[in-house]
Amino acid sequence: MPYSPPLWPVSVKGVATDSQGRVLLLKNERQEWELPGGRLEIGNEATGQIPDSSCEAALVREIYEESGWEVKADRLLDTWLYEPLPGRRVLIVTYGCAVLTPERAPVVSPEHKQAGLFTAAEAAGLTMPDGYKQSIAAWYAQLSPAVDDHKKW
């Protein structure tokens, strides 16, 4: 039998803000807030499901599925390892996003318990992994001076 090494799951996440500069976060089943996004899909020829062509394409699809927001992946912010449950490790790849529908209220998909929009200062105090907080801070640091809230991080 050929050797099959264990593989790291990869999840792409996006920092996306509305027209008021608030970041979109979703509450998961562990009662933690997280950035929207998810795993890359390999596709299924039998069902006609198209595979994700890139991390950016997966991110655009995932954010739309989870929130109803249309985005464009802008730039890579960070990569980090996360262990949401003992023995379950995930490589998180985080992008900053340009939101194409910033006036649209986010919807809550069946994957999450709640959606929320938070200022940088509010997000810093939420229950969420530090890696997400660092990615949010990095994106706010790159936004225009009109979004001054990042100084509170």
Q: ∠ at Cα 40 (12, 63), nearest 5°? A: 55
Q: Does domain 10-145 have CATH number 2.40.50.140?
A: no
CA Rg value for the chain:
16
Alpha helices in the chain (DSSP H): 55-67, 120-124, 130-142
> How many Å apart are CA 29 and CA 12, to the nearest integer?
18
For the stretch 13-58, pLDDT in tens is 999 999 999 999 999 999 999 999 998 888 777 777 787 889 999 9
For the stretch 117-141, pLDDT in tens is 999 999 999 999 999 999 999 999 9
- Position 3 scores a pLDDT of 77
Q: Which helix (H) or strand (E) holds 115?
A: strand 114-118
Q: Where are the domains of the chain?
A: 10-145
What one-character-per-residue DSSP string does 67-102 give?
Answer: HS--EEEEEEEEEEEEEEETTEEEEEEEEEEEES-T
Closest CA to 142 of 85, 58, 75, 81: 75
